[in-house]
Amino acid sequence: MKRILVLFLVLVTLFSSLVIAQESCSISLTPSSTTSRATAGTIFTINSNIVASGSCSGEINLVSSSGEGNQFTVVDPAAGKYSGSISSQSYPFQVYAGQSGTYTYYITAASTTSSSAVIQIVDPSVLTVTGSPSTTSVSSAGSFTLSISIKNPASSAVTTSYSLVASSGLNLSGDPTSTNSTTIGAGSTLALQWTVSYTTFSGSKTIRLTVGSNTDMFTSTVTFQTGSVTTTTPSSGTGTGSGTQNVTTTTSERVPPGKNKTIVITPGGAIISIPEVAANHRSSVSIIGEITNVTDLTGVTEIQFVAKKDLKNLKLTVSKLDAKPTGIPNPRGKVHNYLEIKGENASEADLREVVILFRVEKSWITQNALDPALIKLARNTGGGWTELQTTKERDDANYYYYKAITPGFSTFAIIGLESVSTTTHPTRSTTTSGEEFPTPPPEEGKGFDWNIAILAIILIAILGGAYAYFMKPKHKR
């Protein structure tokens, strides 16, 4: 009888422990966003609204995808996720998308997954930008009024960002020269105005408006000359540079019009000088359309970054390396090429969310029997290679195009990893239109908890030991 009572108490203890463990953490998740429609390159916030009971811990992640396989880039938190104790509060993710499209997203917290939601990302060119003057000539110190209008012709509101940067010597006063986020209602116009003051100078100076990821929405050029003064009022533009007139860039090298930077071609790459970079705005340096031979040498097509503070005279040097630098180990996989990107007048601490876009020939991938999905950009900082988060963006007849997120500039290698038969890929659902979206579990709730399983195994072992002990025949002395 005593043995049966002991076994009963052990079973009750086992059941109670499992119930307590099962109910030790309960999470309810609701995702929300500060916008349902935003321009590419504009930072907005997705909130993970959590109600948690019990002792909860783990990771909180944002999962997103567009029909073309693009994802949101998480600006904050810097690690891209939250880790540790989970409590009842809102966990914000500051994000942006570099490409237009319909993005589906959901939140995971520990073993709980939220329902999915949708955000439309549009190209900044859907906005209509007009400004006056586009060009003006001055012959003495003074000032003039610069007016710019950003119109949203669509039937739904849009969240966007803008930044107005003037050359050194031109002073702006009036409306804010930049904003990380502003909402323009359906059919509404954001009207902006500044007073531009200046002293005497030589040559030409520019004032450039960036909207979202588009750096060429409008440009006004001021030229100092003796004699008559002229002003040109432009027609409306839609972000393709149609509002830009007679922009002058001082350089002896090949620089396309409309770009407020100078480019010096070197034997193995290029040196790109940018006079001014506005803080908290995504800056983009396109290489493929301007210095194609540098892209052919290095593979780099574009460099994007966000400056934490206003920067002056930023200089980027992009160079091909003929071989791996001495004294560092070999990276994994097959090496396409080595390259180096250096920044001057800006430390790694001055920049965030540095993105390197690059391309790889389809013929090289085929010749080396590589999987296009396993192309990586690896970064070396002296202590070894770190394979960066790399995403295949698109392809054309000759190239695959990729995007890699890096904490800063350094020595890089474009590599291809060998396929592994055990490699698994996330499951995606496909709509009838062929678009792919991330597939969350069908219901919100808790998944399999290994902690509970381990506890159950331990208690079962204790139970088995107790049973064996009490059921063992006792020997009389």
What is the tens place of the pLDDT at every residue in 66-77?
A: 877 788 988 888
61 phi, psi to nearest 5 deg = -125, 150
Q: What's 476's DSSP letter?
A: P
pLDDT digits (tens, 9 = 90+) for 419-462: 754 333 333 333 333 333 444 444 444 444 555 666 667 767 77
Q: How confident is the model at residue 14 (pLDDT cuts 50, 70, 90)?
A: low
244 phi, psi to nearest 5 deg = -100, 130
Percent of the chain with pLDDT over 90: 41
Predicted pLDDT of residue 467: 67
83 pLDDT above the threshold of 70: yes
**Numbers of helices and strands, H then E, in the chain:** 4, 34
3-state secondary structure of 166: strand
Q: What's 237's DSSP letter?
A: B
Q: Tell me which range, 3-12, 261-270, 416-425, is most confidently predicted by mean pLDDT.
A: 261-270
Predicted pLDDT of residue 273: 84
Cα separations in angstroms, 408 against 76, 242, 292, 336, 346: 16, 34, 23, 21, 10
289 pLDDT above the threshold of 60: no
Predicted pLDDT of residue 274: 86
More confident residue, 451 or 305: 305
Mean pLDDT, the chain, integer: 79
Cα separations in angstroms, 62 against 416, 430, 444: 27, 20, 15
- Which domains can be identified in the chain, with CATH numbers? 25-122 (2.60.40.10), 124-248 (2.60.40.10), 257-418 (2.60.220)
Q: Which of 399, 423, 425, 402 is nearest to 414 (CA)?
A: 402
Strand locations in 407-445, DSSP E? Answer: 411-416, 428-430, 436-438
Predicted pLDDT of residue 243: 34
Q: How confident is the model at residue 1 (pLDDT cuts 50, 70, 90)?
A: low
Q: What is the mean pLDDT of residues 24-48?
A: 93
Percent of the chain with pLDDT over 70: 74
243 phi, psi to nearest 5 deg = -90, 5
Q: Tell me which range, 145-159, 162-176, 310-324, is most confidently predicted by mean pLDDT.
A: 145-159
Predicted pLDDT of residue 137: 85
pLDDT digits (tens, 9 = 90+) for 325-360: 888 889 999 999 999 999 999 888 898 889 999 999
Residue 184 identity: I
* Contact indicator for 211, 239 with CB cutoff of 8 Å: yes
Neighbour count for residue 198 (Cβ, 10 Å): 19
Q: Which of 54, 59, 115 is nearest to 91 (CA)?
A: 59
Predicted pLDDT of residue 460: 74
Q: What is the mean pLDDT of residues 221-225?
A: 83
Burial 454-466 (b: 16+ CB within 10 A, else e): ebeeebeeeeeee
193 pLDDT above the threshold of 90: yes
Q: Which of 55, 257, 35 is nearest to 159 (CA)?
A: 35
3-state secondary structure of 334: strand
3-state secondary structure of 20: helix
